Amino acid sequence: MNRNDIAPNDRGLSGTNAVEVRGIVKHYGETKALDGVDLTVRQGTVLGVLGPNGAGKTTLVRILSTLIKPDAGTAFVGGYDVLRQPKQLRRTIGLTGQYASVDELLSGYENLYLIGRLLDLPAKQAKARATELLERFSLTDAAKRPAKTYSGGMRRRLDLAASMIGNPKVLYLDEPTTGLDPRTRNEVWDEVQRMVSEGATVLLTTQYMEEAEQLADALTVIDKGKVIASGGVAELKAQVGGRTLQVRPVHPAELPEMARCLHETGLTGATFSADTGLLSVQLTDDEQLTAVIGVLGSRGFGIAGIDTKLPSLDEVFLTITGKSGPTDAVPTLEKEAVA
């Protein structure tokens, strides 16, 4: 199940590329939204496009959905050229954006039926497909209600259903879980995994490392319109340093003693902070986690809580670019000075 343990090169070797992007450039006035982006998505796999706000992720998705035209470069989706064969390409794709693109005044059913008709399904089939997808996305009870009465999660599910009507071979999910609560996010993830298991190719943009870990086979990291890293999830994770284990002892006074014990048993990389009362250990694999907990337990330290933390996107950027991350946050000192 843990797809990340499989090296990226092990998958999809026999498949062809469902998406091929070469040297795509897009300017908005002076700003270069995309500055020569290359990427490929193998058929039947999920490519996670990771990047901060304003990195160019959405611009890329809009180009690949024929919503905007690139200034230079080529892009093929399902073998169709975004510039010369937009209508054929549109039959191949489904798009779910960050903001649900459904008609708020129409019911869930009417939304799906409309799209079915626009995809040239006969009325009967459009009806059947709408009903089927409402069922699948657990929206049957709300089928007749206007979409504006839906919760955020229901809307996102309706949006996903809408992009599935035409059985697209390639799905673009543009930050599909931004702004969703954890439970709804999990529902969306489950749905995406199901689509992939049924053979869809997915291009997923996200700001969340965790989302990329859950869903993606391979990653492309974009910053300021440029690809700054790409490869398998495991590969990039190794670059960034994997997870951090955080242990909260019952008695914070024992922190130095705990770190020393770990060091003695050869488990390096443990640090602690009296301020937070946490012991942190950099993990490179799951065995290490078991070992750390085992050592601490056998020495009789009381543990109040443990947690593992993935590197944040900021940390990924920090590592890859070797400079400070993409946050626009005001440095803490300045904030305090203002206050």
Partner 1 sequence: MSAATLSPATVKPAPLNADDVRIGPRATLRHIGALTRRNLMRIKADPESMLDAVLVPIIFTVLFIYVFGGAMFPTRAQYIQYMVPGLLGTTGLNLAMAVGTGLNSDFQTGVMDRFRTLPIGRSAVLLSKMAAEMLRALVSFTILITFAMIIGLEIKTDVLHLLAAVGLSLMFGMSIVWISMLLGMSLSSPQAVQGVSMLVIMPLQFGSSIFAPTGTMPGWLQTFTEYNPLSALADACRGLINGEAFSHSVLIVVIWSVAITAVTAPLAVARFRKRT
**Pick from 132, 137, 183: which is nearest to 147 by CA?**
137
Is residue 177 a contact partner of residue 188, using CB atoms and an 8 Å limit? yes
What is the C-alpha end-to-end distance of the chain, expressed in Å? Answer: 49
**Pick from 196, 186, 142: which is nearest to 164 by CA?**
196
Q: 78 or 249: whose CB is closer to partner 1?
A: 78
Q: Is residue 5 within the footprint of partner 1 (CB under 8 A)?
A: no
Four-CA torsion 161, 165, 167, 170, nearest 10 degrees:
-60
Minimum gap (Å) between residue 126 Cβ and partner 1: 9
Q: Is residue 78 within the footprint of partner 1 (CB under 8 A)?
A: yes
Taking CA atoms, 300 is separated from 31, 250, 252, 258, 268, in Å, by: 59, 11, 14, 10, 20
Q: 43 or 239: whose CB is closer to partner 1?
A: 43
Minimum gap (Å) between residue 17 Cβ and partner 1: 10
Task: State the angle between helix axes of 152-164 and 123-136 in degrees (0 to 180), rounded to the nearest 10.
Answer: 140
Minimum gap (Å) between residue 269 Cβ and partner 1: 32
Half-sphere exposure of 136 (CA within 13 A, CB side): 20
Q: Which residue in the set 8, 37, 45, 50 belongs to the binding site for partner 1 (CB under 8 A)?
A: 45
- Contact segment (CB under 8 A) with partner 1 among 41-49, 225-233, 258-266, 325-333 equals 41-49
Q: Strand 31-42 and strand 17-28: pairing?
A: antiparallel
- Contact segment (CB under 8 A) with partner 1 among 93-101, 230-238, 270-278, 316-324 equals 93-101
Applying the rule CB under 8 A, the residues between 141 and 160 that interact with partner 1 are 146
Report long-range pairs for 234-238 (Cβ below 8 Å, ≥24 apart): 234/4, 234/5, 234/6, 234/7, 234/8, 235/7, 235/8, 236/316, 237/4, 237/213, 237/311, 238/284
**Both tokens assigned to 245:** 């284990």
Q: 23 or 86: whose CB is closer to partner 1?
A: 86
Q: Is residue 184 within the footprint of partner 1 (CB under 8 A)?
A: no
Q: Is residue 1 within the footprint of partner 1 (CB under 8 A)?
A: yes
With contacts defined by CB under 8 A, how many residues of the chain interact with partner 1?
58
Minimum gap (Å) between residue 163 Cβ and partner 1: 8
Q: Is residue 177 within the footprint of partner 1 (CB under 8 A)?
A: no
The residues of the shown chain that bind partner 1, judged by CB under 8 A, are 1, 3, 6, 10-12, 14-16, 18, 43-45, 62, 65-68, 78-81, 84-88, 90-93, 95, 97, 99-106, 110, 114-115, 117-120, 146, 162, 169, 193, 196-201
